[in-house]
Amino acid sequence: MPVFEYTAVDAKGRARQGILTAESAQAARQLLRAKRLYVSAMTEARGGGPATPAAGARHAPLFSRRVSRAQLLTATQVLATLLEAGLPLDKALTSLIDQMRPGRAKWVFSHILERIREGQDFSSALAAYPGVFPPTYISMVRSAEATGMLPIVLANLAEYMDRQLALARTLQAALAYPAFMFFFGILVLGLLLTYVIPEVTRIFVDLKRSLPLPTVILIAVSDFFRTWWPAILGGCVGLGFLTLRLSRTARGRAVKDRLALSLPVIGPIARHAATARLCRTLGTCLLQGVTMLAALRIAGSVSGNVAFEQAMERIRDEASQGGGLTDPMREADIFPPIVIQLVSAGEQSGRLGELLVTLARMLEADVGTRIKAASALFEPVMILLLGGMVGLMVLAVLLPIFEMSSLIG
């Protein structure tokens, strides 16, 4: 059934925008008139064709081409609540769409509703938009359709996404202040070296007297920055752009991820965060009926680290031949010992999914604690470093003044 985007005016003269499904444009206008909405513009929303990544994005509304994880979480929570209340899937989707604001998310769910009314499964409709719904989401919904537990699975999916978002926000909040301090400090030092120091040291140069070594070095550095600051700035931007491009290649990403795991302080945080994502995804998938091989593939793809992805590929190969998870995990040498111990206990007891979710909670709490400790350590180190550099500049400026005052005295 076609989907129409409309702009209308209600009985009180207020502008309204939205999306609705109808058999034709005339039927859509009749539905809107029944709601006392007077159409000023209406277009048919295209893009319900083959399930390719570009199909949905190419014809999506220009004002919003992206569905954020927060929007997807909210939609999943609402949909799970409506289904638990006993509404059929199509009516639950209709209620969800009615309360959504115009944008990419509303456009996507409207086309999903259209596909379901045409006879597609919910999971197949979701798979048409891989840029919106991650593999974990689609696989769990597919398993839920097979078992008839869609409301419960959607509720569990919402909890899973909520915890993933909470962990991501913790990382972002911890990095925001140190990053601000670093860039602000670099900016202040650059301004001092380029504009302030030359004006102050010009007096000493005009006196044509021998200057202390720190002052000579400061003047040389300041002259260098004043002369070459465009090249330095361009070089930094170019290096950052090159690093970003290389990090998006397979080899560059592998080097970056392995370097992150080997760094002090940052390495343990990156290792535990990747392990927590992997364990939560694998455990949640197993609890919702996803097969072991599919769950291993999905868990490796969401770990966010090439080393873990490669390890999960080897583990999946071992599992496909009838082997367990414990031995290949131990051989990978990147998983914390507690993970191997609990996975071994889970395989022996038949409670692997449950234990993995519990382990994910432990690791997420550990990551939060480590982030707070690292942030508490990093802030004073940054302050001392920047303060020390400014102090050296001040000392280099004051030394000639002290020498001149001693000569006058």
The reply to whether 165 falls in a domain is no
Residues 143 and 152 sit within 8 Å (Cβ to Cβ)? no
User: Which segment of 162-176, 220-234, 258-272, 356-370 scores lowest on mean pLDDT?
Assistant: 162-176
DSSP 3-state of 42? strand
Q: What is the mean pLDDT of residues 15-42?
A: 76
The reply to whether 139 falls in a domain is no
pLDDT of residue 218: 83
Query: 7 — phi, psi (to 5°)?
Result: -125, 130
Is the pTM higher than 0.75? no
pLDDT of residue 50: 36
What CATH number is attached to the domain comprising 254?
1.20.81.30
Of 367, 353, 310, 5, the C-alpha closest to 166 is 367
Distances (CA, A) of 126 to 77, 94, 102, 130: 16, 16, 19, 7
pLDDT of residue 59: 45
Residues 4 and 45 sit within 8 Å (Cβ to Cβ)? yes
The reply to whether 128 falls in a domain is no
In whole numbers, what is the pLDDT of the chain averaged over residues? 80
Query: Same domain, yes or no, for 40 and 183?
Result: no
The most confident of 59-73, 314-328, 395-409, by mean pLDDT: 314-328
* Digit-coded pLDDT (tens) for 394-404: 888 888 777 76
The reply to whether 391 falls in a domain is yes
The reply to whether 77 falls in a domain is no
pLDDT of residue 230: 85
Question: Does 46 have pLDDT greater than 80?
Answer: no
For the chain, how many structural domains are there in total? Answer: 2
Residue range(s) defining the domain that contains residue 5: 1-45
The reply to whether 258 falls in a domain is yes
Question: Does 219 have pLDDT greater than 80?
Answer: yes
CB atoms within 10 A of CB 334: 16
* Digit-coded pLDDT (tens) for 252-298: 878 888 888 888 888 888 888 888 888 888 888 888 777 888 888 87
The reply to whether 210 falls in a domain is yes
Please report, to the nearest 10 degrees, the dihedral formed by the alpha carbons of residues 99, 102, 107, 112 taken in order: 0
* Digit-coded pLDDT (tens) for 111-138: 888 888 878 889 888 988 888 888 878 8
Query: Same domain, yes or no, for 188 and 40?
Result: no
The reply to whether 86 falls in a domain is no
Better-predicted residue by pLDDT, 40 or 97:
97
Of 184, 182, 192, 191, the C-alpha closest to 381 is 182
Rounded CA separation 83/80 (Å): 5
